Structure 1
Amino acid sequence: MPDEHRLEEQFISQEAEKIISEKLDDAEKIEIDVQTDLLKIVQGQADGVSVAGVGLVIQEDIRVQEIKLQTESININPFSAIFGQIELNEPVNATARIILTEVDMNRALASDFVSSQMQSFDLDVDGTIVSFEAEKIEIFLPGDGKIECKGRVLLKEKGNTRLLAYTAIARPRTHSEPAMLESFNCTEGGGISLEVVTALIHKAKELMNIPYFKWEDMVFHIKDIKVETGSLVLLVETKMKQIPSY
């Protein structure tokens, strides 16, 4: 933290780091910079808050390799801010750069928390409902902008249920290119009809083009995705009702 920062700014930032560190399951490094001064604190204002973290374990088996977040100017609760608790009086916009590793993504996908969030989805195939229920998903990041996915699903079709294993290769949507599903292959379970494949491709395209997603009190808009060998880099804009305490 630069030497020229005011003492009150240093104190609040250090207290905020302490509070959030205690709420994380683990963190290799975390730095919080509350950009304000005593007069602004009294008025319930701050020029912004920046968060930089490495190796943050938010919940059991949910790990973020790196995050850098910067908010716009904010209105805060001045009494809680004095003790390092940054409580927002109104939603604030922020930008973030998030790095997820292949290892961490697969650990998260195998966790009880993520498994409980996975839901089956239905497809309307020429008037017949076909249901998919995820059993297992693995992600591989070989580079060249590609994401490879291997998994197993329970396929329910016309009163019958069977296990289907698959591999798929996709290119995620970026700021300049649309999402692309390069291939989808069945490796176990006897395959699926062309009609189901067509409906599944439309569903995959719909999911890959979702403009935003929600988590707790935050709405994320993914502005760009960069796939590197072994890691995924997300550039995100978000509106937060509160600074995340994890």
Structure 2
Amino acid sequence: MPEEHRLEEKFLSQEAEKRISSQLDEVEQIEIDIQTDLSKIVQGQADGVSLTGQGLVIQQDIRVQEIELQTDSIAINPFSALFGQIELNQPLNAIARITLTELDINTALDSAFVRKQIQNFELNVDGEIVNFEPEEIKVFLPGDGKIEFRGKLLLKQMGNTRPLAYTAIARLPSHSQPAMLEGFNCTEGEGISIELIVALMQKAKQLMSIPYFEWEDISFNLKNIEAQKGNLILMLEAQVRQIPSSSTLLLSP
């Protein structure tokens, strides 16, 4: 590759690194490589963008230990690209590998943003609506593809509200077997019915089978999830309609 092309890529990549770093609360390391040259920028094109980072923190409580991301070819706004800001003229596809530590997950679960998303959910148990209000949830990653949950919640059923504490161990799906609930135990409270456990398992299966989920202008497709000792590794495919700006990166509760 001609040296002048590499200089153009280096300049754009460094400007993009500065811009994204300024939008994060903390960054241990970030490296962005915009694969393009001046002639393609003028035409609003780039061959792709790769990003690797460690210790990325959004709004204090949402942290990613490691991320590796690669896009396919993109169509960009050439004027914004000259100043290190990537604005898409059409959606792009990306593949990402994200590593979360056990501490990252539990800190995020305590954040106002996540608490708002899981503050209340309901199940239909034989025609009766049962509501759950999580009060506390902790995740442990012992390895061997397992995830352990420990938590407390309020169970609202038939006009009554009662507290419940539990532990549960789940095994993630693999090539040879589906996801499995290996154990569930009520540690406080009166316990729950078998019908409710069945409804919970059906709900979990339904959530795991959702083909994609969305955040702002990005659609995610979870291709694989791996539970190692202390770490959770996610493999994602994403369609990005627009690169998040500083306003969308700040997750308001």
TM-score, normalising length: structure 2: 0.92
Are the aligned partners of 1:174 and 1:225 in contact in 2 as well (CA < 8 Å)? Answer: no
Alignment of structure 1 residues 32-111 onto 2, 5 Å = 32-111=32-111
Are the aligned partners of 1:102 and 1:230 in contact in 2 as well (CA < 8 Å)?
A: yes
- Match of 2:89, as an amino acid? N
Q: Which residue of 1 aligns with 2:129?
A: 129
Deviates further, 128-137 or 42-51 = 128-137
Give the count of matched residue pairs. 245
Secondary structure in 1 matching 2:17:
helix
- Which residue pairs with 1:114 in the alignment? 114
Residues 121 and 131 of structure 2 are in contact (CA less than 8 Å); yes or no, is this contact kept in structure 1?
Answer: yes
Q: CA deviation at 1:213?
A: 1.7
Q: Compute the displacement of 1:60 (Å).
A: 1.8
Contact residue 172 and residue 208 of structure 1 kept, 8 A: no
Tell me by how many angstroms 1:207 deviates: 2.1
Deviations 1:27-54 (A, max 9, x none): 0000111000000000000000111110
**Amino acid across the alignment from 1:99:** T
How far residue 216 of structure 1 moved from its aligned partner, in angstroms, is 1.6
Following TM superposition, by how much is the alpha carbon of 1:198 offset from its aligned partner in structure 2, in angstroms?
1.5
The AA in structure 2 aligned to 1:242 is Q
What one-letter code is carried by the residue in structure 2 that aligns with 1:191?
A: G
Give the aligned partner of residue 236 of structure 1.
236
Q: How many Å separate the matches in 1 of 2:22 and 2:117? A: 26
Q: Which region of structure 1 is more displaced relative to structure 2, 118-127 or 70-79?
A: 118-127
How many angstroms does 1:177 deviate by?
4.1
Unaligned runs of 5+ in 2: none
1:162 is displaced (CA, Å) by 0.4
**SS of structure 1 residue aligned to 2:191:** coil
SS at match of 1:226: strand
Alpha-carbon contact 2:5-2:36 (below 8 Å) kept: no
Q: Deviations over 1:172-209 (max 9, x none)?
A: 23566422222221111110111111112211222233
* Partner residue in 1 for 2:17: 17
1:204 aligns with 2:234: no
How many angstroms apart in 1 are the aligned matches of 2:211 and 2:135? 26
Query: Which piece of structure 1 moves more, 77-86 or 236-245?
Result: 236-245
Q: Name the amino acid aligned to 1:11.
A: F
Work out the CA distance in 2 between the residues paired with 1:175 and 1:151: 29
SS at match of 1:6: helix
Q: Deviations over 1:60-110 (max 9, x none)?
A: 211000000000000000000000001111110000000000001001101
Structure 2 Cα separation of the partners of residues 144 and 95 of structure 1: 25
Q: Which amino acid in 2 is paired with 1:213?
A: F
Gap runs ≥5 in structure 1: none
Classify 1:216/1:176 alpha carbon distance in 2 versus 1 (closer, same or farther; 3 Å): farther
Q: What is the TM-score normalised by the length of structure 1?
A: 0.94
Separation in 2, partners of 1:174, 1:156 = 34
Moved more, 118-127 or 20-29: 118-127
**Aligned alpha-carbon RMSD (Å):** 1.7
> What corresponds to 1:182 in structure 2?
182
SS at match of 1:15: helix
Query: In terms of mean alpha carbon deviation, does 208-217 or 183-192 score higher?
Result: 208-217
